Structure 1
């Protein structure tokens, strides 16, 4: 499979996923449908079969109705607990969808940012690394705000559902927040060499107007404080004695952090 990040709006990403054997494609959060379909046409897509919506916020789902106009018959998928614009197929945790001949998609319910937030774990041929499209639940070195959920739910989503995915899984999030997230991560763990190296890399990427996605699950285990809340050094740094309490405090700190 091929995956193309597509910058949208100010700092969003939509994604194009192509099953190379059939030429069929899925798009993730196509908030600017015309831009997404141009990338699809430029890369030989025969038809866009699926819209994979991570959650209902306008900067992710606003393009769904337009996609249905431009691509008659396209299926629009979204979480059953989210009021997703244009949704034709409501997903539950563990639902499976196929794309073309070789691509398989697994819906992962990851509530907190919204009640029905869905991440999509995507596998292709056996020799290819899998990918996960994490919307606003997991960012590179960060996580989403707790708009509709609790720290307990975010811990479950990040550390019990996403963290156990294969380490080589590529992580495609929906916003270009990486540099700021890494600056906060370094504030939390000032001696973490992995964060220092990743921050230098991210600065170079952005100076060259290049994306900082994908990350990987393995990399997040070293650089993302929100996925490291089980670590004693992180709990000590934020003055909390449990993973959930540390996650709650980290989110409070990040919400008020302006550096």
Structure 2
């Protein structure tokens, strides 16, 4: 399987990435917020839609589902706790699914925070992670429905995956995230190197996604909330007191990012 499955990057809206996992014949669409670019990619690559995988209920992740189902009736996998009407296969933590038409095995990881019911999909065989708006390259999603404690627990789950796991998140937010990361850890040399690398990609019109778990552990402040350098910076910036717990520190970091320009 490792040599037969591929992933197509399908840009949508201003900064979304939709994903098509395929074997040259069948394809599964991940978070298809817009049907038109998915249908175009299917036609261009002579692929047949076999499944839809959803991570959470926001419109830019599910908006294209009705039109795709009108094109072809396929199973729709999604979170059991996120109230998406189109979902036919409702999923919980630790469920194991096989994607129709592809034979791709995925583990379901519940990652509440961005929304209460958000899930991610992990392929141990391929070392792929589809995490919607939970973990971003250099950042994480806003807390629209969940708590800092929930999001920290969710990110801890993802950070514990193998370092070579490719992270297929849903937005091109990387440079904005890394500018904030530099504000948090100005002396992080791995981060300084990454900023140059990712900026070069963007200058040449190349996506910065997927990223890798190992790189996120080194440079993503939201995965580094327990690092002394991050905690000290929060104190110096007046965002926390020195004796705060991890969840409170995380909440302060997320709030700082919310207002960072």
TM-score w.r.t. the length of structure 2 is: 0.91
Shift of 1:194: 1.2
Shift of 1:101: 5.5
**Match of residue 249, structure 2, among 232, 246, 249:** 246
- Classify the secondary structure of the residue corresponding to 2:49: strand
> What residue is the counterpart of 1:37 in the other structure?
39
Between the aligned partners of 1:4 and 1:38, the Cα distance in structure 2 is 12
Deviations 1:18-65 (A, max 9, x none): 135xx32211111121211322333342x3221111110111111111
**Match of residue 205, structure 1, among 193, 201, 210:** 201
Shift of 1:180: 0.4
Deviations 1:210-256 (A, max 9, x none): 11001001010001000011212211211244322221111010011
1:88 aligns with 2:93: no
| 4+ long deviations beyond 4 Å | none
Query: What RMSD, in angstroms, separates the aligned Cα atoms of the two structures?
Result: 1.5
> What residue is the counterpart of 1:16 in the other structure?
20
TM-score w.r.t. the length of structure 1 is: 0.91
**Match of residue 181, structure 2, among 163, 173, 185:** 185
- Classify the secondary structure of the residue corresponding to 2:130: strand
- Classify the secondary structure of the residue corresponding to 1:218: helix
Shift of 1:85: 4.3
More divergent stretch after superposition (201-210 vs 237-246): 237-246
Between the aligned partners of 1:232 and 1:198, the Cα distance in structure 2 is 21
> Equivalent residues in 2 for 1:90-105 (5 A)?
90-99=90-99, 100=101, 102-105=103-106
**Match of residue 258, structure 2, among 237, 255, 259:** 255
Unaligned runs of 5+ in 1: none
Between the aligned partners of 1:132 and 1:215, the Cα distance in structure 2 is 10
Change (3 A) 1:101 1:60: closer
Shift of 1:158: 0.0
- The 8 Å contact of residues 103 and 123 in structure 1, kept in 2 or not, is answered as no
- Classify the secondary structure of the residue corresponding to 2:69: helix
Between the aligned partners of 1:85 and 1:157, the Cα distance in structure 2 is 24
- The 8 Å contact of residues 34 and 60 in structure 2, kept in 1 or not, is answered as no
- Classify the secondary structure of the residue corresponding to 1:48: strand
Deviations 1:142-172 (A, max 9, x none): 000111010100011001x101111110001
Q: How many equivalent pairs are there?
A: 249
> What residue is the counterpart of 2:64 in the other structure?
63
